[in-house]
Amino acid sequence: MSGGRSVPGILAAAWVIARKDLAIEFRTRSAFLAALVLSLLSIVIFFFAWDPTAIGAADLAPGVLWVTFTFSGLLGLHRSFGVESHDGAMDALLSAPVPRQSIFLGKALANLVFVLGVQAVALPAVALFYNLPIGPAFGALALLMLLASIGLVAVGTMFAGMAANTRLAELLLPVLAMPFFVPIVMPAAKTTALLLAGRPIGDAFAWLRILLAFDLVFAYLCMLLFPLTLDD
């Protein structure tokens, strides 16, 4: 903030919070590396879980990709409010003169960058290990990942905030969030399969429509309801 004392608007405040979270992550790199290693490990392990002569790599890859993204995403989401648990950081954040929605937006934005960052490494890794030509479909895949990640991060940030305020936090987040990932993972994996098979993105229109609607509905609902999960 160059203005110093002025109270920032909802988006400006969200940007400040997101930058704070990303700065912490960039300096420590602990969660990002952990999520990255987890992603690479699961990609490799999944390869051996099926008989590659019976199931083609292109049939295997979509499921592996999206299961991996979901689990590594949960790691990042959990960390998102974990960093606020020490030294009364959450209280400080709550006492800041900014709308509560901007805390959600900021956290969600940082989580989105985190999740997309992991995916940016994991996707080429899948292409390499599973020997898949992702080149022609790259643009469409990137769009798909963005669409899927927005919904995943919106719901995930919401539940991570709730879970952080309870005991059993690290167990509660997946139990609450996973059912909500179904309408994300299913369209995303199906679309990925179509794209990897060389079909145009228009063929996945019905699936993308679900994803887009999910993003809109849950980004709005979570932003609306998030202040209710904060305890003063």
Partner 1 sequence: MTSSSPAARRLGVDWLLLAAGGAVVAAVVRAVWFTPPERLQGYAQKIFYIHVPSAWVGFLAFALTALAGAFWLFLKDPRLDRFAESSAEVGVVFTTGVLVSGPLWGKPIWGAWWVWDARLTLTLFLWFLYLGYLVLRGVIPEREQRARYSAVVGILGAALIPFIHLSVYLFNTQHPMPVVANPTGIQMPAVMIKTFFLSLGAFTLLYVALVRSRYALAVERDALDDDVATDR
Q: Which residues bind partner 1 (CB under 8 A)?
A: 155, 158, 162, 165-168, 172, 175-176, 178-180, 182-183, 186-187, 190, 206-207, 210, 213-214, 217-218, 221-222, 225, 228-229, 231
* Residue of 18, 25, 2, 8 lying closest to 103 (CA atoms): 18
CB contact set of 181 (below 8 Å; sequence gap of 6+): 70, 152, 155
State the residue for tokens 């992991």: 118
CB of 19 vs partner 1, minimal distance in Å: 27
Where residue 168 falls (left for φ over 0; alpha for ψ -120 to 50; beta otherwise) is: left
CB of 220 vs partner 1, minimal distance in Å: 10
Nearer to partner 1, 117 or 183 (CB): 183
CB of 205 vs partner 1, minimal distance in Å: 11
CB of 109 vs partner 1, minimal distance in Å: 20
Nearer to partner 1, 120 or 224 (CB): 224
Token reading at 127: 């292409």
Nearer to partner 1, 128 or 225 (CB): 225
* Residue of 1, 231, 222, 232 lying closest to 104 (CA atoms): 222
From CA 30, how far away is CA 227, in angstroms rounded? 28
Nearer to partner 1, 127 or 164 (CB): 164
